[in-house]
Structure 1
Amino acid sequence: MVEQIEVPERPLAATLARAAVAAGYAPSVHNTQPWHWRVESERLELFADRTRQLSVTDPDGRLLLLSCGTALHHATVALAAQGWASKVTRLPDPEQPDLLARLIPDGPIPVTSRARRLFQAAEVRHTDRRPVTDEPVPVSTLAAITTAVAGAARLQVLTRDQVLGLAAAASRAATVESDDPRVRDELAYWTGRGAPAGAGLPAHVVPGEPPRTTVPERDFGRPGTLPVGPGHDAAASYLLLFGDDDEQSSWLRAGEALSAAWLTAVGLGVSVLPLSEAIEVESTRQALRQVLSGLGHPYLVLRVGFADPDHAGPAHTPRLRSDQVVETAIG
């Protein structure tokens, strides 16, 4: 449960603070939550927190920016659910490279049923690493998920042959990373007791044994306590999130797109599992570019499917305290 944070009694500032706190529901790589919000009297500022960057796995900050983009979109969803439109300026100050975005309320709007549904989806969204059922996701549902990105990035549904290519790339990336002791140490930190309280991946969200899948999931180096249960990924669909370039502004936008697609999927009863391992290794990321015929840059892979309704899914991952990620700059 995301906590509340105290702010001075100013209606707009309180609204902004609530949106920043609600953005803590957003997904992030290894649950690092690498963002920091500053609440001004009439705007929110989003910063990257480099202390929670995966310095070995993600030295360029691609996954950090994706994660911060999901938080940015979550904040706009929270504002809309409170009856406010918002205007976003991305990477507004070259002198402050960690200032990723300014979010300014752009006038009151009616609170629509769609706005309420998206915010409710943000509250219940979680990552489920169990295999999915053998019920395929309907084409119309896939279309709704892929169009939800609304130009912030693009999603391509992979063909069966492309999924097999993805499986080979993921397997190769896993081998490369498992051979690197620095990667193993970083992963152990974020999945062990060394992670900051309220962050990282506790044992209850990590499978107790390798799931049966065509595309291998990440080996976290130690088994968790999440029962794998029945199922396979044979009926899953795999989507490739990509854009026209490989720049920081596009990574941030791709994170916003990821959030929009994921919340849409939750509303449609679809489980989403992000897969980043093949993106983290340069050679396998370039191999995925060939899926796009070299015309785009891959940012993330998503597995979508239906979770087994007869077996309870994992509990939510923990969250950092609000005062660790949100500060108020008003007196």
Structure 2
Amino acid sequence: MSHQTPATHRPLATALAEAAAMAGHAPSVHNTQPWRWRVLPEALELRMVRDRQLAATDPDAELVTLSCGAALHHARLALAAEGWTATVHRLPDPAEPELLARLTDPRPAGTDPDAMRSVQCMQVRHTDRRPVSDEPVSGDALNAIATAADGEGARLEILNRDQVLQLAAAASHAAAVEAEDPQLREELAYWTSRAGGVGLTPEVLPEEAPQTTVPGRDFGRPGNLPVGPGHDQAASYGVLHGDEETPVSWLRAGEALSAAWLAATRLGVSVVPLSGVVEVAGTRQILRQVLSGLGYPYLVLRLGVADPAHAGPPHTPRLPREQVVDTTAVDGTA
């Protein structure tokens, strides 16, 4: 079945390849970018790359699946910005668990201005682990961010002050547990010393631990990012959660993370993901109690207004396009 290219837009195979490439801007745990796309004449496939899974931190491939979900949402928006809509099949083949999604039946559609703005946000989105300003995030902005997550199949619960204190205690305990695990420390050291387009470079890691209510991850080494004065007392914290802990639910959680983060970027809200508390079984259970048992936690988000005195940190590196996008099935046809 052939499809007509929307007027003034690129051919379908080119649009699919460009959407896959744009998905490379998605956030991922430790900037592992654990995805690979295969471009077909009329479809796009997303696969998990096991070699970039955090074996010690994420043995059940939950965070890698979440990371790939964020890339999936980025690709969907990039296609919409090009004037295409497609059907998403999540985990379409039980015999091939690494195949996380297949986008099929692409159809011409009107260009989506909202998706175009989201694509612009993909290219400026970043993680700033320094303290935020003293300006709190407005209730309207928090509601908009939570609504964006809800539209993708997960919920973002904004915590009250007492819940934040419970979260802080759980995060502190999780950090202590992980600090005692030599495999986790070795894995973290590997991903903070990589070169070649993945991992966390010194330029994006604080030179000292920031003053925060909820402790961030101890990366085991100082970075080069000046922290400066300040505290995150005006920050808000939310828990991304859902009704299940299945591969599909973790994939949808990644799509919800992408939607929430892009909405936050558009609203001028800084986002810092905190996964440590869900990496340790005991503190993950505590976090579920914080949610009153109403859902399974996937990720914690710190939300704040960036300090205007801070220049934004550099973007984390990205893998070359040819390492994450396979176009061999369409080369010469786009």
TM-score above 0.5, yes or no: yes
Pick which of 273-282 and 103-112 moved more: 103-112
The equivalent residue for 2:54 is 54
Counterpart AA for 2:162: D
Matched, 1:315 2:314: yes
CA–CA separation in structure 1 for the residues paired with 2:31 and 2:301: 16
The equivalent residue for 2:118 is 118
CA–CA separation in structure 2 for the residues paired with 1:176 and 1:316: 30
Tell me if the contact between 1:37 and 1:46 (Cα under 8 Å) persists in the aligned partners.
yes
Tell me if the contact between 1:130 and 1:228 (Cα under 8 Å) persists in the aligned partners.
yes
The equivalent residue for 2:148 is 148
Matched, 1:280 2:269: no
* CA displacement at 1:112 relative to structure 2: 3.1
Tell me if the contact between 1:84 and 1:105 (Cα under 8 Å) persists in the aligned partners.
no
CA–CA separation in structure 2 for the residues paired with 1:230 and 1:84: 47
Tell me if the contact between 2:148 and 2:260 (Cα under 8 Å) persists in the aligned partners.
yes
The equivalent residue for 1:178 is 179
* CA displacement at 1:142 relative to structure 2: 0.3
Matched, 1:73 2:49: no
The equivalent residue for 1:7 is none
CA–CA separation in structure 2 for the residues paired with 1:61 and 1:137: 32
> Where do 5+ consecutive residues of structure 2 fail to align?
1-9
CA–CA separation in structure 1 for the residues paired with 2:294 and 2:159: 15
* CA displacement at 1:87 relative to structure 2: 1.4
CA–CA separation in structure 2 for the residues paired with 1:100 and 1:42: 17
The equivalent residue for 1:304 is 303
CA–CA separation in structure 2 for the residues paired with 1:236 and 1:184: 28
Matched, 1:215 2:214: yes
Pick which of 112-121 and 216-225 moved more: 112-121
* CA displacement at 1:105 relative to structure 2: 4.9
The equivalent residue for 2:39 is 39
Q: CA RMSD in A?
A: 1.1
The secondary structure found in structure 2 opposite 1:148 is helix
Counterpart AA for 2:172: S
CA–CA separation in structure 2 for the residues paired with 1:187 and 1:116: 35
Counterpart AA for 1:281: V
Counterpart AA for 2:132: V
Counterpart AA for 2:156: L
CA–CA separation in structure 2 for the residues paired with 1:230 and 1:103: 46
CA–CA separation in structure 2 for the residues paired with 1:257 and 1:221: 30
Counterpart AA for 1:167: A
The secondary structure found in structure 2 opposite 1:36 is strand
CA–CA separation in structure 2 for the residues paired with 1:212 and 1:151: 33
Tell me if the contact between 1:24 and 1:71 (Cα under 8 Å) persists in the aligned partners.
yes
Q: Could you list the runs of 4 or more consecutive aligned residues of structure 1 that deviate by over 4 angstroms after TM superposition?
A: none
**CA offset digits 1:73-108 (Å, max 9, x no partner):** 000111111111121100000111100000125322
**CA offset digits 1:54-80 (Å, max 9, x no partner):** 000000011001100000000011111
Counterpart AA for 2:168: A
**1:105–1:121 Cα change, 3 Å:** farther
CA–CA separation in structure 2 for the residues paired with 1:196 and 1:13: 31
Tell me if the contact between 2:43 and 2:106 (Cα under 8 Å) persists in the aligned partners.
no
The secondary structure found in structure 2 opposite 1:218 is coil
The equivalent residue for 1:206 is 205
The secondary structure found in structure 2 opposite 1:80 is helix
**1:311–1:105 Cα change, 3 Å:** farther
* CA displacement at 1:239 relative to structure 2: 0.6
CA–CA separation in structure 1 for the residues paired with 2:216 and 2:271: 13
The equivalent residue for 1:133 is 133
Tell me if the contact between 2:152 and 2:259 (Cα under 8 Å) persists in the aligned partners.
no
Matched, 1:20 2:20: yes
When normalised by structure 2's length, the TM-score is 0.94
> Where do 5+ consecutive residues of structure 1 fail to align?
1-9
Counterpart AA for 1:188: A
Tell me if the contact between 2:86 and 2:107 (Cα under 8 Å) persists in the aligned partners.
yes
Percent identity between matched residues is: 65
Tell me if the contact between 1:173 and 1:278 (Cα under 8 Å) persists in the aligned partners.
yes
CA–CA separation in structure 1 for the residues paired with 2:54 and 2:105: 32
